[in-house]
């Protein structure tokens, strides 16, 4: 009788141990599965985010706003010229912009590119001419107006500088400006940039 009681006790203990053991394993597997699923979801979400970011970046770096002519080669020269500006290779940029102008590919963005390139190579008179030409093409080109005011100041023509600063201080924002100077921001000078230029104009006028 004692033998059977001992045997029953042993079997009972083993069975309880097995149930406990498998319960732990099952819980661990479920926990592992849950963790695995969370990691999988995170990995997929991260991949989607990176894909969207890279696609957006690639689209931005393709510079659709600078590809405005039917001639692929001309568009590439525009992009290269603004890229040179972004890398502070202003002399190379100036040569590219002037090459475009000689080929009769002229708009406010190209003229402003020539202006700012010459400005940074200290050819202020040439920069002034291109700034004025850009403003003739587009009187709302607030970047060209701001640059021209700075050039006038540098040349000692404070009255002309104040006139341009006053124009900028009273200017209203109409729309985003295509401007390759913002090479890594989809080549757009937006309202935020406009407002910063306007504030700078007020400061220059001590208003």
User: Residues 127-154: pLDDT tens digits?
Assistant: 999 999 999 999 999 999 999 999 999 9
Q: What is the pTM of this model?
A: 0.71
In the structure encoding, which two tokens stand for residue 7, read together?
């045997």
**Same domain flag for 176 and 163:** yes
3-state secondary structure of 133: helix
Q: Is residue 110 pLDDT above 50, yes or no?
A: yes
For tokens 């991949």, what's the residue? Answer: 47
- Give the confidence band of 86 by pLDDT, cuts at 50, 70, 90: very high
Find residue 178's DSSP bridge partners.
188
**Same domain flag for 90 and 7:** no
- Give the confidence band of 156 by pLDDT, cuts at 50, 70, 90: very high
| Structural domain boundaries, residue 40 | 1-61
**Same domain flag for 49 and 78:** no
Task: State the DSSP H helix or E strand holding residue 32, giving kind and residue range, or none if neither.
Answer: helix 2-61
8 A C-beta contact, residue 72 and residue 88 = no
- Give the confidence band of 62 by pLDDT, cuts at 50, 70, 90: confident
**Same domain flag for 47 and 73:** no
- Give the confidence band of 50 by pLDDT, cuts at 50, 70, 90: very low
Q: Is residue 90 pLDDT above 60, yes or no?
A: yes
In the structure encoding, which two tokens stand for residue 2, read together?
């004692």
Mean pLDDT of 63-88: 96
Final residue of a domain: which of 61, 90, 111?
Answer: 61
Q: How many domains does the chain have?
A: 2
**DSSP code, position 137:** H
CA-based torsion, 91, 92, 98, 101: positive or negative = negative
**Same domain flag for 23 and 80:** no
- Rounded Cα distance between 36 and 16, Å, is 30
Q: Is residue 42 pLDDT above 90, yes or no?
A: no
How confident is the prediction for the chain on average, in pLDDT?
82
- Rounded Cα distance between 94 and 85, Å, is 9
**Same domain flag for 104 and 56:** no
Q: How far is CA 59 from CA 23, 53, 77, 178, 184, in A?
A: 53, 10, 18, 16, 11
**Same domain flag for 186 and 84:** yes
């Amino acid at each position: 009788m004692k033998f059977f009681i001992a045997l029953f006790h042993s079997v009972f203990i083993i069975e309880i141990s097995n149930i406990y053991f498998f319960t732990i394993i099952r819980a661990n597997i479920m926990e592992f599965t849950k963790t695995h699923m969370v990691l999988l979801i995170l990995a997929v979400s991260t991949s989607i985010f990176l894909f969207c970011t890279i696609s957006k970046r690639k689209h931005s770096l393709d510079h659709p706003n600078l590809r405005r002519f039917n001639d692929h080669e001309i568009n590439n020269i525009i992009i290269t010229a603004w890229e040179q500006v972004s890398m502070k290779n202003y002399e190379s940029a100036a040569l590219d912009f002037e090459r475009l102008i000689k080929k009769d590919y002229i708009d406010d963005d190209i003229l402003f590119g020539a202006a700012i390139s010459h400005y940074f190579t200290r050819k202020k008179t040439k920069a002034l001419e291109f700034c004025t030409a850009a403003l003739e093409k587009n009187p709302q080109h607030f970047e060209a107006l701001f640059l021209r005011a700075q050039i006038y100041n540098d040349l000692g023509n404070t009255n002309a500088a104040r006139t341009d600063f006053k124009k900028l201080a009273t200017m209203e924002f109409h729309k985003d400006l295509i401007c390759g100077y913002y090479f890594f921001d989809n080549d757009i000078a937006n309202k935020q940039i406009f407002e910063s230029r306007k504030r700078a104009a007020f400061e220059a006028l001590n208003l």
